[in-house]
Amino acid sequence: MLELLLGNQAATIRQFAHGIDERPLIPEREPQKSFSEQQTFPTDLTDEEYVEAVLLHMADNLFSSVREEGRSIRTLTVRVRYNDMGEDQVSESLPEPTDLETEVYSVVRVLFRKAWKRRVSLRLVSLKLSNCYRGAYATELPILPKAKRHDSNARLVGHIDTLRKAHGRGIILRAHDLRLRTPPSDALGKSAAAPGGGRIQFIPARKVTATYVPLRGHSYYSFLDSTMSPPALVALAKRNGLSAVALTDTGNLHGAVEFVQAAEEAGIKPILGAELRVEGKPLLVYAESAGGYHNLCRLLSRHAQLGAQGMDDGSVAAGQRRFLHPHELVGLSSGLIAVGNARAVHHIESPAMTSLCRMCNVREIDGLVAIVSVIRPGAANEGKKTSFTRRYRK
């Protein structure tokens, strides 16, 4: 009778009526309570930049999963494992939940440095996202700049996710992805025995090149040449462990005050100067003393005043790059140090230098640099100076 009513489905319906169902059971999946990823390195690493890139790469992967789940997260945890199997981890909760990795890059970097408490090589790193919320979370009004920036970033990552699904992850790469294309550069220090019989490899807290000081630094006061502020230049020097850094903007000292203040706060020695163009070639002029700084200010002010008279191109960039005639240095060279194209450093205010240049009848900056590259004027070299000037005049 049942077959007359239901046809071929009668037997299946009869089984269902008796509680028999041979179809596979597919339970409804519970939403994830956290997202995590870890990586064990083939060899113990000390390359901080490389490990940081690994963590940022993990953030990209995890936040892609967060968006697929339609979630947002608020808490991040970075865990590190050392070569002796010891571990440290640090967590931080954001002020607001987010589903954008670009909003947590800086947090991941800070957490990584806090978690790496021991200056020991790393065996493993992991990143965990927890404290999940449903959907995107926003408290800012849509008209506010922060909300607009968040919306534009959300649209951008949405397009990136679509492209990566269609063409693979390599279709769009971020800066940290490019860093991972090259192997880590590790310089491990001496090893010591661990308490449990293992091996601990110690590394220095920071790689410092004590003998290197950048003497040509431009800020955004060098128009069309840089976008970095003077404090940012100091921060970059501090991050690289430098003891001093120079600010030599083209034809001006506009950033001197904020540069010196930032350097003093960071514990870095500031070197003030300016880059000029003499005879068509760059000349870096540094202030050696307060008097030298005063003379450099007067020199640049007078140079700008002369340039403002009858100048066809009135742009700021053109004014900064206007050639300086050597006669403009007359009377303003005391307390200044100049570096010419031949990379020779010379004290212009030195009486011996003035005497040597007068004896050689120097009329161009190349001749001055050539002289200083060959001989150091002074009482001890008086005989060499006389001999050199005879040869130079020939």
Residue pLDDT, tens place only, 281-305? 788 889 888 888 998 898 888 887 7
Residue pLDDT, tens place only, 6-33? 677 778 878 878 888 777 665 555 566 7
Which is nearest to 34 in space by CA: 113, 103, 122, 126?
126
The pairing of strands 87-98 and 122-134 is unpaired
Predicted confidence (pLDDT) at residue 383 exceeds the cutoff of 90: no
Which is nearest to 121 in space by CA: 209, 179, 199, 180?
199
Residue pLDDT, tens place only, 87-111? 999 999 998 889 989 889 999 999 9
**pLDDT for residue 239:** 84
pLDDT bin (cut points 50, 70, 90) of residue 317 is low
Q: How does the average pLDDT of the chain come out, rounded?
A: 77
Element (H, E) at 278: strand 269-278
Largest CA distance in the chain: 130
The CA distance from 170 to 176, in Å, is: 13
φ/ψ of 339, rounded to 5, equals -120, 120
Which is nearest to 55 in space by CA: 95, 90, 94, 83?
90
Average pLDDT value for residue range 259-280: 89
188-189-191 Cα angle (round to 5) = 105
User: What 3-state class would DSSP assign to 219?
Assistant: coil
Which is nearest to 341 in space by CA: 279, 384, 260, 262?
279
**pLDDT for residue 204:** 45
Predicted confidence (pLDDT) at residue 80 exceeds the cutoff of 70: yes
Domains of the chain and any CATH numbers: 35-179 (3.30.1490.100), 230-349 (3.20.20.140)
**pLDDT for residue 193:** 42
User: Residue 115 in contact with residue 127, Cβ under 8 Å?
Assistant: no
DSSP 55-107: HHHHHHHHHHHHHHTTEEEEEEEEEEEETTS-EEEEEEEEEEEE--GGGTHHH
Beta bridge partners of 36: 128
